[in-house]
Amino acid sequence: MDWDPILETGNKRIDSQHKMLIGIYNDLVAALRSGKGGDEITKSVEFLASYVYMHFMTEEALQVITEYPDYPRHKTLHDEFKQAIADFVDRLNKEGPTDEFVASFTRAVDRWLINHVKGEDFRMAAFVKATGSG
CATH code at position 82: 1.20.120.50
Give the predicted TM-score (pTM) of the model.
0.82
Instruction: Write the pLDDT tens digit of every residue in 15-58.
Output: 899 899 888 888 888 887 777 667 777 778 888 888 889 999 99
d(CA 63, CA 80) in angstroms, rounded, equals 18
Whether 4 is in a domain gets the answer no
CA distances from 104 to 7, 56, 85, 98, 101 (A): 23, 22, 11, 10, 5
Asked if 68 and 24 touch (Cβ cutoff 8 Å), the reply is: no
Domain that holds residue 115: 10-130
- Residue 2 falls inside a structural domain: no
Given a cut of 70, whether residue 3 has pLDDT beyond it is yes
Q: Give the percent of the chain with pLDDT over 70.
A: 96
The tally of domains found in the chain comes to: 1
Between helix 99-115 and helix 12-33 the angle, nearest 10°, is 160
Whether 14 maps to a domain, the answer reads yes
56 inside domain? yes
Residue 5 lies in a domain: no
Q: What is the mean pLDDT of the chain?
A: 86
